[in-house]
Amino acid sequence: MKAIEIFAEPLACVAPQTAVSSTGVVRDIFLVREQPLTIYLNRQEVVTLMTMGSAPAYLIAGFLLNQQLIDSAAAIHSIHVDWEVNAAAVYADTVESVDKKTEKRVVTSGCGQGTMFTAVMDHAAKKAAHLSTIAPLTAATIYALLAQLSKENDVYQQAGGVHSCALCSHNNVIKVIEDVGRHNAVDSLTGYLALENVSEVPTIMYTTGRLTSEMVIKTAQMGLPVIISRSGATSMGVEVAEAAGITLISRAKGKGFLLLTGGHRLHFSP
């Protein structure tokens, strides 16, 4: 892939705050940073995202890819983020009219972002034939990943108030992104895959957030055959996973989980 000019410094994830406890004791704590970031694509305003700001280049690239506003990361010339004005300027080739791409919207249940274009929903179904072929999962494999993931949430441990999404193989946690919204976190994973040379191929997307249709669509667009959540799933999320051929597992905590779709990828020990 061609070199992309990127100027996108990450922000500190937390900010200090003084609080008073329930017993009247003054305490110094940390709050998760929440910062607006307006994305301009070829000088046209596209969206304002509320983000922690820890991985702005990944977030921007992933958002544009997941919304089908660019065809691939190779289309991007440059990403410039200026936190002084909370704006990002992106220049890219082969971009259709942003107005045309965004004219047909479906408002979804996402917090802080949650708008998915109808064209993207149509596109996700086409990804089903290209999902990775993987070795069967076992309950032990899932529990081992959950144990690893429980140690990969630094911002949550320090301040709370964030969602976490992760790319995993059967045996390893490859990349974890925390942000104030689960859609930001999964978009950032999409951007990470697009902008970096990832040596280990991910097969699983993990999230602490609920599995809505939009979250499942974004997983399909990454070509990942398995999605696991600590939280629950919506009925449309399950329908989309079934249509896209994705194995969907919810309520994955400790030593338990619920398999909702794609049981052929899970091997239950006798």
162, 197 contact by CB (below 8 A): no
- pLDDT for 16 equals 96
- pLDDT for 95 equals 64
CA distance 124 to 214: 10
- pLDDT for 33 equals 95
CA distance 239 to 166: 23
Q: Using pLDDT thresholds of 50, 70 and 90, give the confidence band for residue 97.
A: low
**pLDDT tens per residue across span 131-157:** 667 888 999 999 999 999 999 999 998
- pLDDT for 107 equals 42
- pLDDT for 133 equals 74
Average pLDDT over residues 192-200: 95
Domain boundaries, the chain: 5-125, 129-267
- pLDDT for 180 equals 95
- pLDDT for 106 equals 47
**pLDDT tens per residue across span 4-37:** 999 999 999 999 999 999 999 999 999 999 999 9
Q: Which residue has the higher pLDDT, 20 or 159?
A: 20
Phi then psi for 82, rounded to 5 degrees?
-120, 100
- pLDDT for 32 equals 96
**pLDDT tens per residue across span 211-263:** 999 999 999 999 999 999 999 999 999 999 998 899 999 999 988 999 999 99
Q: Which residue has the higher pLDDT, 129 or 149?
A: 149
- If phi > 0 it is left, if psi is from -120 to 50 it is alpha, else beta; for residue 123 that is alpha
CATH number for the region 5-125 comes to: 3.10.20.10
Fold classification of 129-267 (topology level) = Cytidine Deaminase; domain 2 (3.40.140)
**pLDDT tens per residue across span 32-89:** 999 999 999 999 999 999 999 999 999 999 999 998 899 999 999 999 999 999 999 9
Q: Tell me the sheet residues that pair with 138.
A: 267
- pLDDT for 249 equals 98
- pLDDT for 134 equals 83
- pLDDT for 96 equals 66
Q: Using pLDDT thresholds of 50, 70 and 90, give the confidence band for residue 109.
A: very low
Q: Using pLDDT thresholds of 50, 70 and 90, give the confidence band for residue 126.
A: low
CA proximity to 144, closest of 198, 206, 232: 206
On the question of pLDDT at 114 being above 80, the answer is no
CA proximity to 53, closest of 155, 160, 168, 149: 155
Q: Using pLDDT thresholds of 50, 70 and 90, give the confidence band for residue 108.
A: very low
CA distance 136 to 85: 48
Q: Which residue has the higher pLDDT, 178 or 107?
A: 178
